[in-house]
């Protein structure tokens, strides 16, 4: 029998919802405010050991394959943040195998990683990265230690997102930049057939995830936790801190990329979305 884990909406606190999909192991609900969250579950807690990275979703594959592509994507995401803030020390929350740390160092930034997984921390440290073990709700760093915080596919893993964002805000300097990537709750396949899609199924992401956001719900949450969203929800077309040749190429293809982004967005074909925000200069009241 499933046990209730969320008595009310994690965003608005309301209790009016529609059951989105229900399994014997867990139940997902859709709040009137637009947030989708897991209301109950009766499955073991996910342990982020080596098997999580090496043998995810019953598919035998190495988590660190396609290194170059992952590093390039991380580089673009960091440059998104640098369109809005000055460079400075960067923290990658949920650093995994260190692709974002490598990209940050390639951009000349001092980079630090944190992960709940002892295996991931050990792996990154062996590669020479500065990495510590910690959780979203308890980051082992001083107040205002970082200018940039990257959170890629981690915020959906907590049932206390406000606590996670408050802790992120604590270690981030006023005016610093935050980059978040999360699964898109509005993705067409997940919306049309939620019970058949891996976002919700207990043998896939349904076990490890607690919340699914849209750009609107995540923007609201960030604003309420002293962040100012500045780019929602698509990647920047041009990066002002990219090299001259790269920036020229970005400018040249920007119209085509914009048209492709708009078409893909209108058809709800994005499985994930990116959001850039800055830490408000005014402290949370």
The average confidence (pLDDT) of the chain is 92
Residue 262 contacts residue 233 (beta carbons within 8 Å): no
> Residue 283 pLDDT > 70, yes or no?
no
The DSSP call for residue 101 is: H
Query: Which pLDDT score is estimated for 216?
Result: 97
Residue 160's pLDDT band (boundaries 50, 70, 90)?
very high
Query: Which pLDDT score is estimated for 55?
Result: 57
**Alpha carbon distance 259, 263 (integer Å):** 6
> Residue 268 pLDDT > 50, yes or no?
yes
Query: Which pLDDT score is estimated for 1?
Result: 54
Q: Which of 39-43, 145-149, 166-170, 266-270 has the lowest mean pLDDT?
A: 39-43
Tens digit of each residue's pLDDT (9 = 90 or more) over 96-136: 999 999 999 999 999 999 999 999 999 999 999 999 999 99
Sequence-distant contacts of 201-209: CB under 8 A, at least 24 apart: 201/23, 202/23, 202/25, 202/26, 202/41, 202/43, 203/58, 204/57, 206/23, 206/25, 206/26, 206/28, 206/38, 207/25, 207/26, 207/41, 207/43, 207/46, 208/46, 208/157, 209/38, 209/156, 209/157, 209/183
Residue 169's pLDDT band (boundaries 50, 70, 90)?
very high
Question: Beta strand pairing status for 111-115 and 90-93?
Answer: parallel
Query: Which pLDDT score is estimated for 284?
Result: 55
What number is the average pLDDT over the span 183-195?
Answer: 97
Residue 58's pLDDT band (boundaries 50, 70, 90)?
very low
Q: Sheet of 130-133: strands edge to edge?
A: 130-133, 111-115, 90-93, 146-152, 172-183, 272-279, 227-231
Residue 163 contacts residue 138 (beta carbons within 8 Å): no
**Alpha carbon distance 92, 232 (integer Å):** 20
Query: 120, 60, 70: which is closest to 95 by C-alpha?
Result: 120
> Residue 60 pLDDT > 50, yes or no?
no
**Alpha carbon distance 11, 62 (integer Å):** 35
What number is the average pLDDT over the span 168-188?
Answer: 97
> Residue 63 pLDDT > 60, yes or no?
no
DSSP three-state, residue 7: coil
| 130 membership: H or E segment, kind and range | strand 130-133
> Residue 271 pLDDT > 80, yes or no?
yes
> Residue 61 pLDDT > 90, yes or no?
no
Query: Which pLDDT score is estimated for 3?
Result: 77
> Residue 36 pLDDT > 50, yes or no?
yes
> Residue 2 pLDDT > 90, yes or no?
no
> CA of 284: how far to CAs of 23, 230, 278, in Å?
38, 18, 14
Residue 64's pLDDT band (boundaries 50, 70, 90)?
low
What number is the average pLDDT over the span 170-196?
Answer: 97
> Residue 68 pLDDT > 80, yes or no?
yes
């Amino acid at each position: 029998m499933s046990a209730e884990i969320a008595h009310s909406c994690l965003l608005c606190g309301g209790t009016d919802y529609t059951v989105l999909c229900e399994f014997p192991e867990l139940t997902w609900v859709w709040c009137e405010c637009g947030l989708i969250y897991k209301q109950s579950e009766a499955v073991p807690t996910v342990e982020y050991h080596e098997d999580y990275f090496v043998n995810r979703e019953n598919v035998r594959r190495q988590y660190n394959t396609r290194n170059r592509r992952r590093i390039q994507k991380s580089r673009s995401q960091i440059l998104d943040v640098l369109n809005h803030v000055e460079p400075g020390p960067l923290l990658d929350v949920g650093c995994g195998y260190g692709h974002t740390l490598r990209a940050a160092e390639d951009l000349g930034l001092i980079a630090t990683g944190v992960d709940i997984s002892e295996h991931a921390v050990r792996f990154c440290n062996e590669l020479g990265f500065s990495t510590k073990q910690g959780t979203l709700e308890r980051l082992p760093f001083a107040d205002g230690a970082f200018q940039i915080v990257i959170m890629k596919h981690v915020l959906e893993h907590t049932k206390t997102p406000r606590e996670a964002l408050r802790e992120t805000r604590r270690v981030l300097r006023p005016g610093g930049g935050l980059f978040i990537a999360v699964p898109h709750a509005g993705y067409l396949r997940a919306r049309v057939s939620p019970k058949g899609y891996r976002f919700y199924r207990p043998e896939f992401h349904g076990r490890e995830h607690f919340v699914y956001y849209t750009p609107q719900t995540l923007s609201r949450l960030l604003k309420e936790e002293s962040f100012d969203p500045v780019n929602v929800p698509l990647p920047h077309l041009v990066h002002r801190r990219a090299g001259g040749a790269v920036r020229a190429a970005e400018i040249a293809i920007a119209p085509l990329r914009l048209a492709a982004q708009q078409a893909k967005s209108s058809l709800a074909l994005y499985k994930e979305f990116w959001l850039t925000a800055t830490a408000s200069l005014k402290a949370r009241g």
